[in-house]
Structure 1
Amino acid sequence: MNATALASRLLTERPRPRGIAGWRHAHWLAVGTVCLGAFLGQLDASVIALVFPALGRHFDASFAVVEWVALAYLLVLVALLAPIGWLSDLVGRKTMYIGGFAVFGLSSLGAGFAGSLWVLVGCRAVQAVGAAMMQANSVALVARGVPEHAMRRALGIQAAAQGLGLALGPSLGGLLVEHASWRWVFWVNVPIAVFGILAGWYLLPRTRAAGAPATVPGPRLNGSPRTPRPYASRTAEFRAAESRSAESREDARVDLPGMLLLTGATTSLLLALSTASGLPLPGWAVAALLLASAALTVALVRQERRAARPILAPGLVNTPGVRSGLAVALIGYLLLFCPLVLGPVLFAGAGVSTAHAGLVVTLLPAAFAFAATVGGGLLPQGWSDVTRCRFGALLAAAGLLLFALLPASDVAALPLLLAGYGLGLLLPANNALVMRAIPAQCSAVGGGMVNMARSLGTALGMALSVLGVHLAGAESGGRTVLYLLAAVAAAAALLTRPTRARENRVVTRS
């Protein structure tokens, strides 16, 4: 078999077995497979912060340098989510999702064998490629694979899987580092990835039929860069483009300039924050990096307005409710991740053991997972997603404020539970609002933007936590950041906007 035939076979999506495809609850098996990727990604995200001290000792590196084991992963993830969303429309979301497990598993194996810190950072960057292949498709696979009435519940289950990964990360990481080695933090991903490949092959419906042309199922998302158009005209253009039998090569190209500008802008910003947090660069570098980030952001906006296939899709971002929803998604994950970094620091300053601190901090993502699945049932049945978002944001604000005010001891468990429960109400409802506002044929791109916002929130959460601790010390700096987070959570309640469904989703049966 030659290379072309092998590639064609690998990129041809296979339908599920008839017994699975014909079962009326088969969509929940697909949701479970998507949840496996969500669990793996968040497990990896939360476990990394706990092994920073062990990595610093092993490689004799400062905290500001070691944090790039996480930041490199997040930067690559942010840069690739939208382009991979477009690529998934070309080759099929199922194919891309299964491939993501393979890349993630192999790079995790290499990370465990890394002999230097920068080799480890490189393996983490490759890990992010695999994570992007999974995450860029996760929301789209859920939104297009379940009935409309079950979408909020399905997204809630997916969010719960993320919460479970976040919850197990600190505890599992502490046990592995203490009783085995930091290398096992990466090796533990390998069997999960293998299981994910098998589950995806048999349980995910195919998203592109055999022999179907590799076309992008969406239009040019930008028209005139100077004259914005109403949503109705854009929707008509979406439908017209969907009916075309083929797209030109020019239309199918990835927006490489936009991807490079986005990567440069986010990297410059995070480097500036890391330099201010103790990264060994000259003092003037902070101002230079901030200016570079601002300039690249302006250039990115201009590029996306004129690009045929923009990675940030201004045509979608300008859809009513999408821009504010993406901002709330970013804020929500910033609020979720910051306490996971700050909590152990505050507890260590109070003399609490690492194992005990990890158990207390675990309550935040555990409450998040509970609220995202069954906790929402405790609310009045008539509440809309907008009301759930606002109520959840205010609960999170109250919890974070209490966490900042109370001493770092067992009494902090209550604020963490309150904040986690609020975020578990906020994020699934907000994701459902965003996906309803986006036309169905653009769900992959919309899902990629939601995941991009999540990754940016996670990266900023880590960078701001390290910056606050570096500038004002563990106790004062950590609590100052928590006060700021409480204010940001309250602002998220004001940002939430009502949306309405744009097109009916189609449940895939193959």
Structure 2
Amino acid sequence: MNAASTLTARLLTERARPHGISGWRHAHWLAVGTVCLGAFLGQLTAGITALVYPALQRHFGTGFAAVEWVALAYLLVLVALLAPVGRLSDLVGRKTVYIGGFAVFGLASLAAGFAGSLGALVACRAVQAVGGAMMQANSVALVARGVPEHAMRRALGIQAAAQGLGLALGPSLGGLLVEHASWRWVFWINAPVALVGILAGWFLLPRTRRPDAGPVPPARRDAGPDPDGGRFDLAGLLLLAGSTTALLLALSAASGLPLPGWAVAALLLATVLLGLGLVRQERRATRPILAPGLVNTPGVRPGLAVSLIGYLLLFCPLVLGPVLLAEAGLSTGQAGLVVTVLPAAFAVAATVGGALLPRGWSDVTRCRFGASLAGAGLLGCVLLPVAGAPAPALAFPLLVAGGGLGLLLPANNALVMRAIPAECSAVGGGMVNMARSLGTALGTALPVLGVHLAGPVPGGRAVLLALAAVAGLAVALSRPVRRR
């Protein structure tokens, strides 16, 4: 065996935790803390990127439609890789892949900060998404393997809180870094967090695969590898990635990306053809990534639509807010602090908001109430005169909208998972994550389209008004389902 093979084998061999850590009866909370680092880092990146758009436009001398691909490239690669990375993790070990995700994410973040062109920055973000997929595809499974059954709900709640903290901190931190340092620090700041994650994962995460005995038995029955051993639906994955990429490129062209008319027409045609091919492939695949049988289950399709809508409503203001607030005369740092109110309210409401509602309310009622609050907050953003308004007045509608979304999405997820048979919960959870990622991508693309077509203030208000109407659609789609 040569030196390269020996090094590869050593890197792919999971090490057990030190005996002093593994023997401690509260060691599982150290593993949860390590997973929370990855959750925090991923959402911090999602929340921080929108504040960089104006600085990137000035630095690279390009338009809004081009710089939005700093976010879209990340999201598209993430959606495409979540499922295959999860399958790879079953083979080589979830701990190994998770730690590798920190390494890839950190190195790509360093490279993004040194990028000399917008194309290089977009490429670095795509590589960064590889690391993000390696972390996201394994986070819940690592919690499930390392935490006793009685602590599972609390551990997943802590993980969700870490995601909310990263999303809430992103806009304010991004605004301060852009205003007082440079847009490059928005990416460089990920590197030390990733380094801490590598060290914590090496020493604190339990081993998920022994070199001589295969995968370690999971703490929960549904946390291990897929039991049926079916072939992965690679064709469906490629069709999904191709159709969504073509659609977002077409939207970007309509938003000002310099593409000839024939290319836009070809992209729209490709979107339709690839979409039809995806439907056909998913109907005949042994293990379809979209599972048409589950999508057609009563309650699942509207629940997935509400999940997509929820993240569309969450991320659209994060992209649009800095543009409108800059028109009102606020600095990048001030705009970041105002926009932070939306994800902060979302995180608080998602964590503890349900306990403040009447006990007798069903999940459907909570969904409708949350969607109504979100729509009212977005409508308030439309009606509020931005110019000359004090910062608290600008932040209040975002507070209402974020709180409503924090009530809507957890209740909707519960409705979706209740409608899905228990033995298909992993597939159902994957579809919810896919809907969430697609909603985030649309929430990034649509504000740019509105601003390009009608200007920052009129276009921004039109987008916010459309979002308020979409929140009404979420109210109509929320309906009771029975457990299958």
Q: Give me the TM-score of the superposition, normalised by structure 2.
A: 0.88
Q: Deviations over 1:134-190 (max 9, x none)?
A: 122334444666567765554443333222222222222222222222211111101
Structure-1 residue corresponding to 2:117: 116
Q: Deviations over 1:285-321 (max 9, x none)?
A: 4343222212111101111222233333335444554
Between the aligned partners of 2:162 and 2:16, the Cα distance in structure 1 is 25
In structure 2, the partner of 1:296 is 274
Label 1:439 to 1:82 Cα distance change in 2 as closer, same or farther (>3 A).
farther
Could you tell which deviates more after superposition, 357-366 or 195-204?
A: 195-204
Distance 2:305 2:457 in 1: 29
Which deviates the most, 374-383 or 46-55?
A: 374-383
- Residue 389 (1) aligns with residue 367 (2): yes
Q: Are the aligned partners of 2:175 and 2:335 in contact in 1 as well (CA < 8 Å)?
A: no
Instruction: Please identify, of 69-78 and 369-378, the stretch whose mean Cα deviation from structure 2 is larger.
Output: 369-378
Give runs of aligned pairs for residues 269-280 of structure 1, distance below 5 A.
Answer: 269-280=247-258
| Alpha carbons of structure 1 residues 348 and 288: separation in structure 2 relative to 1, 3 Å | same
- Measure the CA separation in 2 of the matches of 1:24 and 1:433: 35
1:395/1:418 contact within 8 Å kept: yes
Deviates more, 1:258-267 or 1:347-356: 347-356
Q: 1:202 to 1:490 in 2, by over 3 A?
A: farther
1:424 aligned to which of 383, 406, 411 = 406
Say which of 456, 459, 465 aligns to 1:474.
Answer: 456
Following the alignment from structure 2 to structure 1, what is the Cα–Cα distance between the partners of residues 234 and 111? 28
1:6-155 aligned at under 5 Å gives the runs 6-17=7-18, 20=21, 26-142=27-143, 153-155=154-156
Q: Is the 8 A contact 1:274 1:463 kept in 2?
A: yes
Letter in 1 for 2:385: P
Quote the residue 1:223 is aligned against.
none
In 2: Cα distance, 1:206 partner to 1:429 partner? 33
> CA distance change for structure 1 residues 38 and 46 in 2, over 3 Å: closer, same or farther?
same
Alpha-carbon spacing, 1:29–1:335, altered in 2? closer, same or farther (3 Å): farther
Q: 1:149 to 1:489 in 2, by over 3 A?
A: farther
Q: Compared with structure 1, are the counterparts of its residues 103 and 38 closer, same or farther at alpha carbon in structure 2 (3 Å cutoff)?
A: same
TM-score by length of 1: 0.83
Aligned pair in 2 of structure 1 residues 319, 194: CA closer, same or farther (>3 Å)?
farther
Q: CA deviation at 1:281?
A: 1.0
> Which residue identity lines up with residue 335 of structure 2 in the other structure?
A
Structure 2 matches for 1:490-509, cutoff 5 A? 490-498=472-480
Distance apart, 1:442 and its partner CA? 5.8
Residue 105 of structure 1: SS of its match in structure 2? helix
CA contact (8 A) 1:346 1:474 kept: yes
**8 A Cα contact 1:81 1:451, kept in partner:** no
Q: Is the 8 A contact 1:403 1:416 kept in 2?
A: yes
Kindly, what percent of the aligned residue pairs are identical? 79
The count of residues paired between Structure 1 and Structure 2 equals 473
Matches within 5 A, 1:318-333: 318-333=296-311
User: Is residue 81–residue 133 contact of structure 2 (8 Å, CA) maintained in 1?
Assistant: yes
Partner of 2:186: 185
Q: Which segment is superposed worse, 30-39 or 296-305? A: 30-39
Alpha-carbon shift at residue 115 of structure 1 (Å) = 1.7
2:436 is equivalent to residue 454 of structure 1: yes
Which amino acid is 1:191 matched to? Answer: P
Structure 1 position 176 matched with structure 2 position 177 = yes
Cα displacement string for residues 372-391 of structure 1 (whole angstroms, at most 9, x for unaligned residues): 22233222334444443332
* Cα deviation digits, residues 3-22 of structure 1 (max 9, x gap): 44544443344444556556
Cα distance in 2 for partners of 1:475, 1:347 equals 9
Query: How far 1:92 sits from its partner (Å)?
Result: 3.1
**Who is 1:165 aligned against?**
166
- Aligned partner of 2:338: which letter? V
Q: What code does the residue aligned with 1:324 have?
A: P
Deviation per CA, 1:230-266, whole angstroms, max 9, x where unpaired?
Answer: xxxxxxxx9xx9767xx4xxx44x4322222111101
Matched, 1:346 2:347: no
Label 1:92 to 1:382 Cα distance change in 2 as closer, same or farther (>3 A). Answer: farther
**Alpha carbons 1:396, 1:419 under 8 Å: kept:** yes
1:162-311 equivalences under 5 Å are: 162-213=163-214, 247=229, 251-252=230-231, 254-311=232-289
- Give the partner amino acid of 2:291: A
Range that drifts further, 419-428 or 357-366 = 419-428
1:335 paired to 2:335: no
How much does 1:499 deviate?
5.9
C-alpha spacing 1:497/1:33, structure 2 compared with 1 (3 Å): farther
Q: Deviations over 1:387-437 (max 9, x none)?
A: 433322222122111112112233122111111111112223333444565
Deviation readout 1:112-134 (Å, 9 max, x if unpaired): 12122211111111001111111
Distance 2:212 2:421 in 1: 25
Cα deviation 1:304-350 (Å, max 9, x = unaligned): 22223333333544455443333222221111111111112222222
CA distance in structure 2 between the partners assigned to 1:161 and 1:143 by the alignment: 17
Structure number with higher relative contact order (C-alpha < 8 Å, ≥ 6 residues apart): 1
- Give unpaired runs (5+ residues) of structure 1: 218-237, 503-510
CA distance in 1 between counterparts of 2:101 and 2:422 reads 23
- Give the counterpart letter for 1:458 in structure 2: T
User: Equivalents in 2 of 1:94, 1:384: separation in Å?
Assistant: 38
* CA positional deviation for 1:82: 2.0
- Check 1:389–1:34 CA distance in 2 against 1; reply closer, same or farther (3 A cut): farther
